[in-house]
């Protein structure tokens, strides 16, 4: 697994367990065979393609979805379900290998997945969150899911967050999970999540598939508010390839089993909870960036001194999305002109003659541009810094209070290779 730097935050402790870290949640995953393997070698091992998260109690729940006009059928069904229950959920069912998108029978199949789950777990179909990821425009075979359901439910018994995290992977090279422990009203609370990458990632209002569970008691309304706010400064500041998926969804469920006083309004408790959500989502964002398709390096771009946060965000995302800069990072070439070029075409209001740029690693930042013009720097030091696998770009655009961070990755031969023959 690629190493990732987890940043420390006072009062929050990183723990194991992913979506099972919070009390009341179990998870599991199995290989259902949703896509026929290329050859029928009976000894072949298969990665999981069907996952489930179950809560012991009915949870408060919230979600955000892709803004793509083409929406996967599971998105439509999950929206309907959460509306029907007024923001309550008991379980998540999710498959990889097929997005169930652009199919005439898509909604029917997504509903069938909810029914199968409800029957197996003894809840209502409307209490199920359903999600799919994989190839667009191929009919989803429902038989493998039906057949795998007993084994999937059995897999919940060992509460295996790793099996579930594997089941949502597509071109990911490692499963992505983070969990934290924090305290509210003297009670230990837990919040953890899992996410899948790693291509078609350029979120708007949500990204990719992402499931977060907590035992911290929070109303559905405040869950939605926190999720909508945090997604703006985490996933929505991530771009792997500029392509916004049809199946993006982030779902957040609270079992309330930490037994803190339920958070129903803004205030100190809400802020503590929201910070936990930020820590988990920010770290998952960094993992998604680091594991971008074909990526060898994480790029973190911070913009400060803008007139407001939105301006800073537009500039940071412009840099993260530049194919030319991404290719230069792959080549470990301190070609800062491409950073300035991307800053220059960002649709934002700032003075280009005030722009300073530094580039490097967490060990050494090197100033390459001051007031919009190049400054002398040691190419040797820059090459050394760029040989690291987490690359930082710091940009200052003036004296304003606005700042933002965006995350991306380098553009490599392997991105092209992976996407030249994804369907085969």
How many residues sit in the footprint of a second copy (CB under 8 A)? 63
Question: Cβ closer to a second copy: 135 or 188?
Answer: 135
Residue pair 151/51 in contact by the 8 Å Cβ criterion: no
User: Binding residue for a second copy (CB under 8 A) from 33, 87, 137, 400?
Assistant: 137
Binding to a second copy (CB under 8 A) within 368-397 occurs at 369, 372-374
- Give the residue among 417, 420, 359, 367 at the shortest CA–CA distance from 390: 359
Q: CA-to-CA distance for 63 and 366, rounded, in angstroms?
A: 41
What would the x/- binding string for a second copy be over residues 322 to 351, using CB under 8 A? xxx--xx-xx-x-xxxx-xxxxxxx---x-
* Torsions phi, psi for 330 (to 5 deg): -60, -40
Question: Cβ closer to a second copy: 193 or 292?
Answer: 292
Q: CA-to-CA distance for 51 and 183, rounded, in angstroms?
A: 30
Binding to a second copy (CB under 8 A) within 5-44 occurs at none
Residue pair 253/210 in contact by the 8 Å Cβ criterion: no
Number of neighbours of residue 225 by Cβ within 10 angstroms: 17
Q: Is 246 in the site for a second copy (CB under 8 A)?
A: yes
User: Binding residue for a second copy (CB under 8 A) from 80, 85, 138, 302?
Assistant: 138
Number of neighbours of residue 144 by Cβ within 10 angstroms: 20
Q: CA-to-CA distance for 359 and 384, rounded, in angstroms?
A: 11
Catalytic residue set? 207
- Residue 85, judged by CB atoms within 10 A of its CB (0-12, 13-18, 19+), counts as middle
Q: Is 241 in the site for a second copy (CB under 8 A)?
A: yes
User: Binding residue for a second copy (CB under 8 A) from 100, 171, 220, 412?
Assistant: 412
Q: Is 48 in the site for a second copy (CB under 8 A)?
A: no
Question: Cβ closer to a second copy: 284 or 369?
Answer: 369
Sign of CA dihedral 374, 375, 379, 385: negative
* Torsions phi, psi for 301 (to 5 deg): -115, 120
What would the x/- binding string for a second copy be over residues 96 to 125, using CB under 8 A? ---x-xxxx---------------------
Q: Is 406 in the site for a second copy (CB under 8 A)?
A: no
* Sites of contact with a second copy (CB under 8 A): 67-71, 99, 101-104, 135-138, 199-200, 202, 204, 241-246, 321-324, 327-328, 330-331, 333, 335-338, 340-346, 350, 352, 369, 372-374, 411-413, 415-424
């Amino acid at each position: 697994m690629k190493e990732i730097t987890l940043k420390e935050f006072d009062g929050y402790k990183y723990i194991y367990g992913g979506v099972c870290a919070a009390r009341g949640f179990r998870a599991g995953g199995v290989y259902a065979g949703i896509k026929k393997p290329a050859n029928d070698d009976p000894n072949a091992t298969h990665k999981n393609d069907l996952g489930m998260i179950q809560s012991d109690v009915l949870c408060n729940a919230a979600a955000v979805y892709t803004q793509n006009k083409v929406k996967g059928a599971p998105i439509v069904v999950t929206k309907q379900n959460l509306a029907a229950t007024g923001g309550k959920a008991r379980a998540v069912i999710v498959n990889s290998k097929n997005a169930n998108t652009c199919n005439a029978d898509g909604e029917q199949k997504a509903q069938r997945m909810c029914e199968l789950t409800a029957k197996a777990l003894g809840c209502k179909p409307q209490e199920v969150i359903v999600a799919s990821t994989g190839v667009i425009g191929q009919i989803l075979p429902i038989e493998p899911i039906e057949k795998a359901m007993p084994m999937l439910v059995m897999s919940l018994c060992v509460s295996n967050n790793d099996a579930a995290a594997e089941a949502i992977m597509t071109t990911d090279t490692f499963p992505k999970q983070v969990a934290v422990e924090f305290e509210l009203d003297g009670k230990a609370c837990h919040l953890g999540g899992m996410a899948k990458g790693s291509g078609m990632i350029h979120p708007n209002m949500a990204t990719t598939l992402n499931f977060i569970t907590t035992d911290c008691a929070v109303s559905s309304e405040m869950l939605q508010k926190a999720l909508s706010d945090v997604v703006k400064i985490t996933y929505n500041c991530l771009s792997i390839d500029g392509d916004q998926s049809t199946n993006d969804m982030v779902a957040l469920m609270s079992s309330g089993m930490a037994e803190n006083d339920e958070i129903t309004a803004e205030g100190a408790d809400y802020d503590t909870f929201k910070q936990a959500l930020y820590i988990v989502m920010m770290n998952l964002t960094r993992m998604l960036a680091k594991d971008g398709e074909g990526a060898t390096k994480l790029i973190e771009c911070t913009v400060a001194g803008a007139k407001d946060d939105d301006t800073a965000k537009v500039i940071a995302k412009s840099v993260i999305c530049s194919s030319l800069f991404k290719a230069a990072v792959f080549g470990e070439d301190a070609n800062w002109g491409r950073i300035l070029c991307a800053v220059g075409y960002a649709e934002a209001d700032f003075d280009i003659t005030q722009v300073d740029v530094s580039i490097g690693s967490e060990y050494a930042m090197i100033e390459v541009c001051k007031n919009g013009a190049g400054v002398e720097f040691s190419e040797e030091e820059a090459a050394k810094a760029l040989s690291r696998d987490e690359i930082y770009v710091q940009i200052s655009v003036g004296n304003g209070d606005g700042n933002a961070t965006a995350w991306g990755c380098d553009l490599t031969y392997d991105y092209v290779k992976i996407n030249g023959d994804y369907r085969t």
